[in-house]
């Protein structure tokens, strides 16, 4: 039975992160006895950190990674991937907009020959302006990067650890989602997609939708596009793909 790492990036998610940990513990126990739950607190200013420390008494499998200063969403994901030590790595956001119990439906799909189970939103439960921006963004990213997955912006993913550790992730902003998926695609890893529900945010607010962040994100997207699609700097993971296949045989 494969082992499982579940991790959540957390930034001012005190109202939701406790239930996310509880759900993850329930699902992981059903799958395997060899699991860990990781929360990367990215410099939260609310009571998230105090809550997480108190949760460790109830959930001994819980590991905490604290960033003393905010490193951005990509920085939190990088820390989570580095800390994860099990065969399968699952992550989703700590704000409660995805249901961790739906991981039960992804785990059976991770069979031989599948490297990534990528969720896609059945429908997006956000304000209208975010839905419009999100839809436009997705279409543009698919055009620029020629993505084969339908929803690169759905942060509900189950990945083989050997796959994610074979690529080098650089971006510390939300652009890391584009970088992660495209580098895994370019490296030849096999994706299966699965529909998941998306829920209204009940606590806190999005950190992404302001003009300063949007401008910085646009510049980072251009740099990533230039490096991967124009200069064709292919991830070194392609060189390791045959080694991974031989190991499985």
pLDDT per position as a tens digit, 120-131: 999 766 667 667
**What gap in Å lies between CA 77 and CA 157, rounded to an integer?**
12
Q: State pLDDT tens for residues 177-186.
A: 999 999 999 9
Instruction: Judge: domain 4-248, CATH 3.30.360.10.
Output: no
Pairing of strands 4-10, 88-92: parallel
80-97 average pLDDT score: 97
Q: Is 57 exposed, middle or buried (0-12, 13-18, 19+ CB in 10 A)?
A: exposed
Q: Would you kindly state where each structural domain of the chain is located, as residue ranges?
A: 4-248
pTM across the whole model: 0.86
- pLDDT value at position 248? 46
DSSP 198: -
User: Helix 48-58 vs helix 17-31: angle between axes, to the nearest 10 degrees?
Assistant: 30
Answer with the residue of higher pLDDT: 113 or 128.
Answer: 113
**DSSP SS3 for 27:** helix
- pLDDT value at position 216? 78
**What gap in Å lies between CA 16 and CA 116, rounded to an integer?**
26
DSSP 129-185: HHHHHHHHHHHHHHHHH--SSS-TT--EEEEEHHHHTTS-----STTHHHHHHHHHH
Q: State pLDDT tens for residues 5-23.
A: 999 999 999 999 999 999 9
**Residue 109 in this model has a pLDDT that exceeds 80:** yes
45-59 average pLDDT score: 97
**Residue 243 in this model has a pLDDT that exceeds 60:** no
Does residue 192 contact residue 159 with C-beta atoms inside 8 Å? Answer: no
What are the angstrom distances between the C-alpha of 70 and each of 24, 175, 207, 226, 243?
24, 16, 12, 27, 37
Confidence of residue 137 (pLDDT cuts 50, 70, 90): confident
**Residue 29 in this model has a pLDDT that exceeds 80:** yes
- pLDDT value at position 12? 95
**What gap in Å lies between CA 213 and CA 227, rounded to an integer?**
21
**Residue 173, both tokens:** 């902003």
CA-CA-CA-CA dihedral for 231, 240, 89, 175, to nearest 10: -10
Q: What percent of the chain has pLDDT over 90?
A: 67
- pLDDT value at position 111? 93
**What gap in Å lies between CA 184 and CA 181, rounded to an integer?**
5
What are the angstrom distances between the C-alpha of 118 and each of 16, 48, 68, 96, 134?
23, 28, 31, 18, 18
Q: State pLDDT tens for residues 189-222.
A: 999 999 999 988 766 555 555 556 666 788 889 8
Q: Vertex 162, ends 159 and 168: CA angle to 5°?
A: 90
- pLDDT value at position 68? 95
Residues in contact with 5: Cβ distance below 8 Å, sequence separation at least 6, in sequence order: 35, 36, 38, 83, 84, 85, 86, 88, 89, 90, 161
39-51 average pLDDT score: 97
**Residue 200, both tokens:** 């209204």
């Amino acid at each position: 039975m494969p082992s499982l790492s579940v991790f959540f990036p957390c930034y001012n998610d005190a109202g939701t992160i406790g239930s996310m940990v509880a759900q993850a513990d329930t699902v992981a126990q059903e799958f395997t006895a060899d699991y860990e739950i990781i929360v990367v607190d990215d410099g939260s200013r609310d009571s998230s950190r105090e809550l997480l420390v108190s949760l460790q008494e109830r959930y001994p499998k819980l590991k905490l990674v604290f960033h003393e200063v905010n490193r951005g969403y990509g920085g939190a994901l990088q820390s989570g991937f580095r800390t994860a030590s099990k065969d399968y790595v699952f992550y989703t956001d700590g704000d409660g907009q995805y249901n961790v119990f739906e991981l039960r439906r992804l785990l059976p799909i991770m069979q031989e020959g599948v490297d990534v189970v990528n969720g896609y939103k059945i429908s997006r439960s956000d304000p209208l302006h975010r839905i419009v921006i999100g839809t436009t963004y997705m279409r543009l990213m698919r055009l620029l990067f020629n993505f084969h997955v339908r929803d690169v912006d759905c942060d509900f993913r189950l990945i083989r650890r050997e796959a994610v550790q074979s690529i080098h992730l650089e971006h510390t902003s939300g652009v890391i989602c584009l970088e992660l998926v495209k580098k895994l695609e370019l490296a030849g890893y096999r994706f299966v997609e699965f529909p998941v529900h998306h829920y209204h945010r009940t606590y806190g607010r999005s950190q992404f939708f302001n003009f300063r962040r949007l401008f910085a994100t646009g510049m980072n997207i251009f740099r990533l596009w230039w490096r991967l699609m124009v200069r064709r700097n292919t991830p070194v993971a392609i060189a390791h793909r045959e080694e991974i296949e031989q190991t499985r045989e």
